[in-house]
Amino acid sequence: MNQTPALRLLSQRLAEKRAQGLERWLLALESAGGVRVRLDGREILVMASNDYLGLTRHPRLAEAALEAVLTTGAGSGASRLVTGNLTLHAELEREIARFKHAEAALFFCTGYMANLGVVSGLAGREDYIVSDALNHASLIDACRLSRAQVRVYPHGDWEEAGRLLAEAPGGALRLLVTDGVFSMDGDLAPLPQLLDAARRHLALLVVDDAHATGVWGESGRGSVEHHGLTPSPELVMVGTFSKALGGLGGFVAGANEVVASLVQGARSFLYTTAPPPGQVAAANAALGLVDEEPWRREKLRRLSAWFRGELTGLGFTLLSEAGPIIPLLVGDSHQALAMGQALLRHGVLAPAMRPPTVPAGTSRLRLTVTAAHETGDLEQALEAIARAAKEVDLELG
Ligand SMILES: Cc1ncc(COP(=O)(O)O)c(C=O)c1O
């Protein structure tokens, strides 16, 4: 095909990405979720999914989704404010509010859209946002979309976050925004200190618990519970059903005024078709399982701690101390890519994470453990990791 100048420019940019070791591509797996999948006809051990509790293939989610599709429809037909709002949505939102001990909750099509909605639906041009440097891309995009004044503090530096909050202009709504568990490092935000800073400076604290809901805290309520905090009026909790909860859909839980403001002004809630019945019913079923099957969380903790110990024994330095997100820092993007490819040759899937997903010079393999893994799976992964590290000359320690 003849390349137009615009297509030629795109080709050049793609070639530059390739040369920098930053090209990405799509792998088509022959089944979703689960620990073992088929890829190009081979059986592969998955060590990178966010299905922390192993719920993606739980029969209760499938049954709930199927029944809702058969009785209520495959689609919702319109946005929530037109004709797409179903009793199923209202029931789920009541359950989310109960689960998170919040006054109210709002369900979004995805966690990405929940983050876009909560930040840009609450804050506008005249407002002020203080944001952690390693926040997820959806929060970064949300800050940009809001057009508020945005100040970024070094990762986890709650003292600097407080200083920046103190500089907010009078009359501005102040938001302090952080991941609860950081997606690429697996570490926790210093929530008690951040909440204290938010209170002192009359701000709302928005916590994205995408990777903590279902996993962290005694009863899986997330990082707020883990830190022993009780939900309070200044706390706005975001979460997703797409990770530990095995399905799809985001949510915001918090004070009535917060949820009411989002119904009026969150564009990613207003201007999109309502989540369809199957998705909503599966989400509701997953919330029930977090309470009914606590063994999943316990097993996840046990396996994560064991796997972390074994990796440290092999000489790897881990970026966080606990939890199922276990990044192996490589540094160079070409070497990280080579390590991911070597692992795949040995039957283990854990693609390299490279810029802009992580800061330059910190490319890594982001390994994850799930409650669906068994010790034998992790032993297989360890053997493959040790072999791959040797093949790509990865310096350990
Ligand atoms: C921290 C964090 N927040 C939000 C999201 C978006 O969630 P979802 O996949 O449901 O859109 C992700 C991952 O995709 C994430 O890692």
Q: Using CA positions, which residue lies closest to atom 7 of ligand 1? A: 111
Measure 249 CA to ligand 1 centroid, in angstroms. 10
Domains of the chain: 32-53+294-391 (3.90.1150.10), 59-292 (3.40.640.10)
pLDDT, tens digit, 9 for 90 and up, residues 278-318: 999 999 999 999 999 999 999 999 999 999 999 999 999 88
Q: Which atom of ligand 1 is nearest to the CA of 242?
A: 10
Average pLDDT over residues 306-331: 94
Question: Which strands make up the sheet holding 36-39, listed edge to edge?
Answer: 36-39, 42-46, 348-349
Measure 110 CA to ligand 1 centroid, in angstroms. 8
Measure 382 CA to ligand 1 centroid, in angstroms. 27
The catalytic position among 226, 227, 243, 299 is 243
**117 C-beta closer than 6 A to ligand 1:** no
pLDDT, tens digit, 9 for 90 and up, residues 41-95: 999 999 999 999 999 999 999 999 999 999 999 999 999 999 999 999 999 999 9
CA-to-CA distance for 342 and 281, rounded, in angstroms?
40
Please confirm, yes or no, whether 299 is among the known catalytic residues: no
| Confidence (pLDDT) at 139 | 98
Mean pLDDT of the chain: 96
**240 C-beta closer than 6 A to ligand 1:** yes
Show the tokens assigned to 6. 């615009």
Show the tokens assigned to 340. 């991911």
Average pLDDT over residues 96-123: 98
Report residue 1's pLDDT band, with 50, 70 and 90 as the boundaries: low
**183 C-beta closer than 6 A to ligand 1:** yes
pTM of the model: 0.96
Please confirm, yes or no, whether 120 is among the known catalytic residues: no
Please confirm, yes or no, whether 100 is among the known catalytic residues: no
H-helix segments, 20-110: 59-72, 87-99
Residue 397, pLDDT > 80, answer no
Number of other residues whose CB lies within 10 A of the CB of residue 26: 5
**268 C-beta closer than 6 A to ligand 1:** no
pLDDT, tens digit, 9 for 90 and up, residues 142-194: 999 999 999 999 999 999 999 999 999 999 999 999 999 999 999 999 999 99
**242 C-beta closer than 6 A to ligand 1:** yes
- Residue pair 228/217 in contact (Cβ under 8 Å)? The answer is no
